[in-house]
Amino acid sequence: MEEAGIVSDAAGAPVAGHRPSVAGSSHARGSAEPVRYQGGSLEVRDLNMAYGALKVLHGINLTIRPGTVTCIIGPSGSGKSTLLRCLNRLVEPSGGDILLDGDSIFRFKPEHLRRRVGMVFQQFNLFPDHTALGNVALALRKVKRMPKDKAHDIAAARLAEVGLAERMHHRPSHLSGGQQQRVAIARALAMNPEVMLFDEVTSALDPELVKGVLQLMARLGESGMTMVVVTHEMNFARRVADQVVFMDEGRVVEAGHPDEVFDNPQSSRLKRFLSQVL
Ligand SMILES: Nc1ncnc2c1ncn2[C@@H]1O[C@H](COP(=O)(O)OP(=O)(O)OP(=O)(O)O)[C@@H](O)[C@H]1O
Ligand SMILES: [Mg+2]
């Protein structure tokens, strides 16, 4: 079952106290204390990736500073998801390197890497027969082999942090799409990552539910989490990003501060793209 596969990916990504990314909130059952994260850095060097004969990424270079938000924009098929998936080794590149806090990610076992680099997808991939609390706690128990009480305490704190203290005992079918996506974000946060990857996480949501999830992501960014966000939400990118990266045909065409990218695009490809989406 697909869901089981994806949850075990998340569940393959424990924390094990690797580094103290979250300051002082994990026992706050049911209360949304302010949380500070200690985001990590990423450095992408001359990254190439091919699906068989199809070359998808061509010499990508990218610097992502700790605690910053990078938004990746670009047309369909330009390689945005593929780049994101390389960052936590859901796919393996054909060349180049990626450094997490200065260390090549190819020296880690993928499941260890995914403890440090969490990912949230467009589909929520929650277990329908578990409550929100159960979904988050299950990942902690499987991955970190945490005792039930402790897993529930941390799950409750993470759910409170994403604004779901009141809804944590409900199953996914009794939650809105936006709430389900926030459970998926809480599940990833429970693993205590230092980088969070988001791949079009609001694209499947009804328009009125998009705002709440974007607000949550903006808050996470302000809290020090390092985030790489593939998005079609240009207003979000303009407002929240420290860096916007425009990709086309597997290349980074332009990257810079949102003001530069949106207000002063240099390439005809970015100008054309912006004229279509703004
Ligand atoms: N599993 C796969 N096997 C073969 N080709 C793939 C696979 N996944 C993606 N591709 C191809 O790789 C290229 C880049 O795809 P990718 O999903 O990274 O683009 P994207 O920028 O995320 O697009 P979108 O905005 O539509 O999500 C496309 O040509 C796509 O068809
Ligand atoms: Mg994509």
Q: Give the pLDDT confidence of 166-210 residue by residue, as tens digits.
A: 999 999 999 999 999 999 999 999 999 999 999 999 999 999 999
**What is the C-alpha separation between 29 and 37, in angstroms, rounded?**
18
> CA torsion angle for 85, 17, 168, 150 (degrees, to 10)?
150
pLDDT, average across residues 211-223: 96
Q: Is the pLDDT of residue 264 over 60?
A: yes
Q: Is the CB of 53 under 6 A from ligand 1?
A: no
Ligand nearest to the CA of 74: 1
Q: Whose CA is nearest to atom 1 of ligand 1?
A: 51
Mutate to test the pocket of ligand 1, among 58, 71, 82, 234 (most ligand atoms within 8 A of CB): 82
pLDDT, average across residues 155-163: 96
pLDDT for 35 equals: 82
pLDDT, tens digit (0-9, with 9 covering 90-100), for 78-95: 999 999 999 999 999 999
With a pLDDT cut of 70, the percent of the chain lying above it is 88
Q: Six-digit token pair at 203?
A: 């694209």
pLDDT for 144 equals: 86
Q: Six-digit token pair at 210?
A: 């998009």
pLDDT for 257 equals: 98
Q: Is the pLDDT of residue 3 over 90?
A: no
Q: Is the pLDDT of residue 162 over 50?
A: yes
Ligand nearest to the CA of 56: 1
pLDDT, average across residues 206-232: 96
pLDDT for 204 equals: 93
**Residue 143's pLDDT band (cuts 50, 70, 90):** confident
Q: Is the pLDDT of residue 252 over 60?
A: yes
Q: Name the pTM for this structure.
A: 0.90
The rounded Å distance from CA 49 to ligand 1 centre is 11
Q: Is the pLDDT of residue 24 over 60?
A: no
Average pLDDT value for the chain: 89
pLDDT for 25 equals: 41
> CA torsion angle for 79, 84, 87, 89 (degrees, to 10)?
-80
Sign of dihedral through CA atoms 107, 40, 217, 56? negative
Q: Is the pLDDT of residue 23 over 70?
A: no
pLDDT for 183 equals: 97
Q: Is the pLDDT of residue 7 over 70?
A: no
The more confident residue out of 30 and 268 is: 268
Rounded-to-5 percentages of helix, strand, coil across the chain: 40, 20, 35
Q: Is the CB of 79 under 6 A from ligand 1?
A: yes
Q: Is the pLDDT of residue 18 over 60?
A: no
Q: Is the pLDDT of residue 11 over 60?
A: no
Q: Is the pLDDT of residue 5 over 70?
A: no
* CA-to-CA dists, residue 242 to 222, 228, 261, 263, angstroms: 11, 10, 11, 15
